[in-house]
Structure 1
Amino acid sequence: MRKSKLRYAEAPTLNIVPLLDVLLVLVAVLLLLTPFMAKSIHVDLPAATSGAVMTQDTAITLEVKADGTVLFEGSPVTDWSALNTRMNGATSAKVFADKGAAFVAITGVLDQLAQRDIHNVQFAVRP
């Protein structure tokens, strides 16, 4: 009997160096051409025919004391309906609350602000 010699074939390998060279060339081409392509794109944007002009954000200041009293820009609030003209045009509110202020008083202020369509409210706590 004759013994045959087994030949082991090399495992196939993938040469990555040429692939990386091609990819780097493509990246370089894209980086060089992108600014030229961006300048050549024409976008036809629509024009507004009506709408309100954006004005500067007008904020009102409210303070809630520990005993439940509410101050509007330094003066105590007794009647919320009397403040409609002073709060007209406000788009945001800053609410300062004492540490011991009752949650019911704060939610009452939030309800009054929501009735006047003021939903942008910033909170702060004073010691």
Structure 2
Amino acid sequence: MRIKRIAPSEAPDINLIPLIDVLLVIVIFLVVSTTFMQPSQLEVDLPGTQSAKEDTAPTEALRIRIGRDGNYAFGSLGVLNETQLRRELTKAMATNKDGQERRAVVEADAAATHQSVVLVMDMLASLGVARVSIATAGGKAP
């Protein structure tokens, strides 16, 4: 019995369209998921506490960061001085038209001066912020 081999007339090809579709979905997912982050240009090293609770600050709270060099950051805004910070906080408070109680979270670097923290708290008090929280790094002893 003789078996005849049939030579393939065309070379097999690789279909790249499904691969491209999967890669596009992955790229879209990465682009969409990275837009939810609010990077800050001011890195702070929060002081630790013995009994730290979870960060329960509401997402609508005003977040002010104080760097070790005395610079400030508000929300996603970059490095600000005192005048710029006061202007941005005033704008943020002006958008509060529903009369809801505003809250603020102060994230001060462990090496930040006491004066810069007091200055921010004084600004918030003069603008009518009802509750001010000071963020700490959970579980680290000072």
Q: TM-score, normalised on structure 2? A: 0.44
Larger radius of gyration: 1
* Bigger fraction of residues in strand: 1
Instruction: Indicate the structure whose relative CO is greater, using CA pairs within 8 Å and at least 6 residues apart.
Output: 2
